[in-house]
Chains A and B, each alone.
Chain A
Amino acid sequence: MEVVSTVRTPLVTGQKTVHDVSEDICHYVEAKPNKLWMFGIILSLGALGFGGYCVFRTLWDGIGVWGLNKTVGWAWDITNFVWWVGIGHAGTLISAILLLFRQKWRMSINRAAEAMTIFAVICAAQFPLLHMGRLWLGFYWALPLPNTFGSLWVNFNSPLLWDVFAISTYFTVSLVFWYIGLIPDFATIRDRATGMRRSIYGALSFGWTGGAKDWNRYETVALVLAGLATPLVLSVHTIVSFDFATSVIPGWHTTIFPPYFVAGAIFSGFAMVLTLMIVTRKLFSLEDYITIYHIELMNIIIIVTGSIVGIAYITEFFIAWYSGVEAESYAFLNRATGPYWWAYASMMSCNVISPQLFWVKKIRTNIIATFTLSIIVNIGMWFERFVIIVTSLHRDFLPSSWAMFYPTMYDVGVYLFTFGVFFFFFLLFAKFFPVINMAEVKSIIKANSKKY
């Protein structure tokens, strides 16, 4: 008996059977890479090449090659760091928070979103490490390891150290969560393969057989990990915002930062998921798994978080004036009308105005419009961090120290390097790993079709 729900939109279209799911997803893992994929790899290797040179010069000559000066000591590097960490928020949000809320539409997108999270966090971590100048000493400066200074331990009162713990915990837990989900799918690939591929995916699948007892434990692990990862996701960007909020710089010293940063992170994370998924969907013909309905739901999250971010901008501005603190009021006025007004205007138009277009159903269900807006949102989110960081610093406490920040080729190059890393890893993932969580999708196909 076929049972078709009249109230719920089907999450997988095209009348797929359980076997079709294995076939559709494993097919791309087993096939030879196509030309478009090769082109992507070459492009990202190009970015890695030029970026690698800039990273080398940064390490060889020191961070003097960047555009930083005595007044603006943090600029592109921390902007990029916060931007990448923000992007890294969608994956675990999708797989953990949406799992707790039993949102089944997460199932077709969680695998790729989690992969994106992991790669984005790898990209983010490069900036604080490079800014240390002497990368190889990073371990001693950032981790509580016994050292030859006495042992002079790390400072647990510093938000920068909290960041080290937050980012590394987030990376580890996301990686584990992602890998646990991959194990049953690796077993599917293993059981279809022969020879070398069978032994590689066999090792990756950890000897998974899909016994009922193992599934029982697996589901408990997934649920508890989701429960642990949910406060973790929220804590990470909260702690990133503490880097600024616990300081005494006008424009940074605001209590609104933690919720505002978290909303911004989810906003930019979902935008990046959309950018990548629209391309992946096209590249691997996954239109039946990632439907317009999925895209629409993600766009709705973008409207919600985009509006929260918009309200945060306005509240911040209002409080700066209402507080009566001159330095604070000036910092905000300077953001909007000072020499970096164009960055502020880009941030406002990309983050506050553009997502409001998604109120129109025609726009939020249109792929080209969604793709364009998802990129605009991430440009806006980059400018948000740039505005917060650079405009708060460039007007120092003494007017004689006022300065401007201009990026050099090396600032841009190091940023490009992280793009290279991100897309290189993502393309490898998309080719060699199952991009959709087959086991989970199989369970929802069942839920909305045949009954006996």
Chain B
Amino acid sequence: METKKNYLVGIFDDSDKVLHGIGHVREQGVKIEEVFTPYPVHGIEAKLGYKRSKLSVAAFMFGALGTFLAILMQVWMLGIDWPMIIGGKNFVSAPTFVPVTFELTVLIGSLGMVGTFFVLSDLKPHKTPRIFDLRSTDDKMVMAVDLAVNKLSENEIQSILQASGASEVYRKDFE
């Protein structure tokens, strides 16, 4: 059974406020669990200390796999398994394999990257997400602070969040 999780939730009205607020909160030594925003706020990942996503590397790897599989498939089918003379050309006629190789590179590259994204971010249809505040997909920026991982007391963190520009701070517990 999962233990009870206790959070302090800070609501910010504006993306600029939350950007300044994160820096302030972290300077005071408070560990932030996550900040939820209704739209991508640029610069927030740097403030939170997140590294650049490596998903583009995944895309490249899957793309390379696509290229390899496409060439393998075409060479094997037309060159080895059932060679046929088509238009008097070689069995393995490289220029005519370009379009299919390109398309499969793009197909496997993008599907692989998106699949990796879904796995990393744990996105799936039957998931019940932990939502701190329903307004975080509408117009508010929501900062969640896990009380268990912070040494400071609840009251101290509450006042830090308020001093950092949060318009509302409240406690939220999850089973």
A210 adjacent to B74 (CB under 8 Å): no
Given contacts A207-B127, A232-B106, A450-B14, contact A442 B38 (CB under 8 A): yes
Interface window among B3-11, B109-117, B146-154, B156-164:
B109-117
**How far apart are A256's CB and chain B's nearest CB, in angstroms?**
19
**Residues of B with C-beta under 8 A to A187:** 137
**Residues of B with C-beta under 8 A to A366:** none
B123 adjacent to A207 (CB under 8 Å): yes
Given contacts A203-B126, A207-B127, contact A151 B81 (CB under 8 A): yes
Max chain A Cβ within 10 angstroms of own Cβ: one of B44, B102, B125, B129: B129
B111 adjacent to A176 (CB under 8 Å): yes
Given contacts A212-B45, A451-B16, contact A224 B55 (CB under 8 A): yes
- How many angstroms from the CA of A203 to the CA of B35 in the assembled complex? 22
A64 interfacial by beta-carbon distance below 8 Å? no
**Residues of A with C-beta under 8 A to B40:** 215-216, 218-219, 439, 443
**Residues of B with C-beta under 8 A to A217:** 53, 55, 117, 120-121
A156 interfacial by beta-carbon distance below 8 Å? yes
B117 adjacent to A207 (CB under 8 Å): no
- How many angstroms from the CA of A246 to the CA of B49 in the assembled complex? 54
Interface residues of B in 63-118 (CB under 8 A from A): 63, 73-74, 77-78, 81-82, 84, 86-87, 89, 93, 96-97, 99-100, 102-104, 106-107, 109-111, 113-114, 117-118
B138's partner among A191, A204, A206, A208 (CB-CB below 8 A) is A191
**How far apart are B115's CB and chain A's nearest CB, in angstroms?**
10
- How many angstroms from the CA of A183 to the CA of B129 in the assembled complex? 13
A156's partner among B97, B102, B120, B122 (CB-CB below 8 A) is B97
A392 interfacial by beta-carbon distance below 8 Å? no
**How far apart are B114's CB and chain A's nearest CB, in angstroms?**
5
A141 interfacial by beta-carbon distance below 8 Å? no
- How many angstroms from the CA of A217 to the CA of B51 in the assembled complex? 10
Q: Mark A15-47, 1 if CB is under 8 A from B, else 0.
A: 001110010000000000000000000000000
A162 adjacent to B99 (CB under 8 Å): yes
**Residues of B with C-beta under 8 A to A150:** 82
A343 interfacial by beta-carbon distance below 8 Å? no
**Residues of A with C-beta under 8 A to B121:** 213-214, 217-218
Chain B residues with a Cβ closer than 8 Å to the other chain, count: 68
Given contacts A153-B81, A203-B126, contact A211 B36 (CB under 8 A): yes
Interface residues of A in 158-215 (CB under 8 A from B): 159, 161-162, 165-166, 168-169, 172-173, 176-177, 180, 183-184, 187-188, 190-192, 202-204, 206-215
A221 interfacial by beta-carbon distance below 8 Å? yes
A443 adjacent to B39 (CB under 8 Å): yes
B138 adjacent to A183 (CB under 8 Å): no
B34 interfacial by beta-carbon distance below 8 Å? yes
A211's partner among B15, B35, B87 (CB-CB below 8 A) is B35
A169 adjacent to B56 (CB under 8 Å): no
- How many angstroms from the CA of A203 to the CA of B126 in the assembled complex? 6
A209 adjacent to B37 (CB under 8 Å): no
A225 interfacial by beta-carbon distance below 8 Å? yes
Closest to B133 in A: A191
Closest to B35 in A: A212
**How far apart are A205's CB and chain B's nearest CB, in angstroms?**
8
A283 interfacial by beta-carbon distance below 8 Å? no
B113's partner among A190, A210, A221 (CB-CB below 8 A) is A221
A228 interfacial by beta-carbon distance below 8 Å? yes
- How many angstroms from the CA of A220 to the CA of B56 in the assembled complex? 7
Listed A/B pairs (9) with beta-carbon separation below 8 Å: A18-B139, A161-B100, A166-B99, A168-B107, A173-B110, A216-B40, A218-B40, A221-B113, A231-B106
Closest 3 CB pairs of A and B: A207-B127, A18-B139, A206-B123
